[in-house]
Structure 1
Amino acid sequence: MNQTFTHPGVFVSADQLAFMREKVAAYEDPWYVAYQQITASEYASLTRPSSPESVVDCGSGDGGNPVCSRERKDALAAYTQALCWSLTGDVAHAQKAIDIMDDWSAVLTAHTGSNAPLQAGWAGSSWARAAELVRHTFSGPWPRMERFAELLRSVYLPMVLHNRPEYTKTYNGNWELMMMEAGIFISVFLDDPDSYDMALEIFRQRVLAYIYLEKDGPTPNPPVPSWAGNQAKIMSYWHNPVQLVNGVSQETCRDFEHTGYGIDSISHVAETTRIQGNDLYQDPDFKDRLRHALGLHTRYANGVGSVEEISGPRDPEVSVYLGPVTEPGYNALHHRLGVPMDQTGDYTERHRPQGTNTLWVAWETLTHAQNPY
């Protein structure tokens, strides 16, 4: 693709930022209460220290290494500070975001461990959002911006694009969706159309193999071509649902929290492609998969019916905790495109303001609630 990028264009656009500023300045809810939530958080503190490391080693469950959590939280803090700058015009927030990014670009050289690609995805997504906002909305100096860009280019981008783990039952689909989200975000910041195209193509294929539609047939789409026709292997990978209906995810029968990670990454990428002029929401298949996934999972999270209709009895039972992950998709499909989404609307409005999950999801009521742009 001969892509020319729009900036700021990672997850939020200039028009979306202007809408947020207008609503917050008018003390309108849910935006003002969401603004109060963000400013009260630790991530908005101008005195919050950052904790960079040269190597971030992350195994399953962080492997007991607190550096993994610190990297993610510092990346979230940089994004939070950049948002605060964009909303308030307070230069101190822009400078704080720059300071955090400079601290990490001075020392970080690698991610290691079994969870390295996922960790790089989580942190890389937040870093790219922060860097994009600062670079394209702040007119003050950022002398080490190119050093941070090189960090994203040489440490994060290869990890998320070229370190795709084996497809096994223990490697669930939210990984690759997260990794491609970071790849797409970083590519926009770097004005790198080749990496953008690569990440977007991998992402498209992963969505087809992550959310089921009945038109797919009696077996979900395989994550890799070599699995085609191997129903037992695919169903095991999908945690053995007892029923397949529109919107079931590869991780529904695992738990809803991880499924929510995947659904929100799908929304994040779609928001970015819309800003960049190749709007995934206009693809009927993509739109249907996202709307059905949101509808099915919010229905069970709302207490309507039992997930055992899909999972069958489990020990332990499948958790239906979904998390703060519905705002962008609900806004895009319902408010922008007019798709009826009663269950998703009920869930979203009852859980406002949607804050952060301390991984990479952050402040999406503020950025996307009823945002028309």
Structure 2
Amino acid sequence: MSEQLRVGMVGYAFMGAAHSQAWRTVNHAFDLPLTARMTAVSGRSPEGVAAAAAKLGWDEHTTDWRSLIDRDDIDLIDICTPGDTHAEIALAALAAGKHVLCEKPLANSVAEAREMAAAATAAASSGVRAMCGFNYRRVPAVALMRKLVQEGRIGEIRHVRANYLQDWIIDPEFPLVWRLRKELAGSGALGDIGAHIIDTTQFVTGQSITSVSALTETFIKQRPLPSGSAGLSAAASSDGSGLGDVTVDDAALFLARLDGGAIGTYEATRFATGRKNALRIELNGSKGSLAFDFERQNELEFYDAERPSSEQGFTRILVTEPDHPYMTAWWPPGHGIGYEHTFTHEVRDLIEAIATGQQPTPSFDDALQVQLVLDAVSRSAETEQWASVEDPALEPALKG
């Protein structure tokens, strides 16, 4: 029997369900030095968290996330809450010597992200590990894309194209949920889905975004207050119409320069009618190109410009072979996997890192760098000028 990694999770909605699926299945799929134990889940609603614990497979439940941190029988805190609570929970967990998995984006501000990254660095000296949950890194085709880039198969990268398109709020009657309120979410499409394509492109290229030129737009300025929204009364319109102000972006677009010489175009929107979860990345290099589309998750397109002209054209790689990243744990070749597997791969890598004393990736430092890009995009959109991405190693007061 392997030693247990006892997990306490905060939050049980969409991401909580996805993470629970991962913790339930990871040891059934992979041979690991630690066995995940779903010890307890926390949520604000007594009835809701009790139902979630029973449905998702948690041993116990509570309405007080602080009690999870105080428990000696919990080793890791998994944070699946809105962004406004990430910093408080993560800082408390790290101070208590708990490992942390925190959903993306890391925080709602650069200041919070810097504090969290510093706390993670300090805790690492005592063997405490912290990781941010950018799950699209764990798509096998994306991991293969990174491997081919590292092997030099497409040469010098010149262009990066990244889109993340959704349409779930195109209806003006869709309510003012927490994701549409800046004080809770930090930003809109930019932080929610734009953060994913920022991290994923930097991951596959090995290059960091250094400057951006951006615009953002909010198409629907007010929305109906959700039922039971007494806490949103301050956001309600003064005429008593029951509408509240949308305080985040609906769409964000930006040009980017990367430190390896590549240039990029990025688009994140929740108003791409007909697109449900369309994440696409294309890299153009001096020797070839690679393209990934999450709506065809088990495939990677590869163009090898060094092949004879009679053989050139994009090749479809079906990423289901046992020698493809993560695929040894799953099914025979040709049998695809899905969205939920990215989270299983995520906690698999985290468990391995904790067991071997390694720093998991993306680290809080990596997530801070993404936060700095988000901040630069926001500043650029506001000023309508190019904005530089701050150096993660420099405190704001030390910048020239």
Q: Higher helix share goes to which structure?
A: 1
Question: Which structure has the bigger radius of gyration?
Answer: 2
TM-score by length of 1: 0.28
Q: Higher strand share goes to which structure?
A: 2
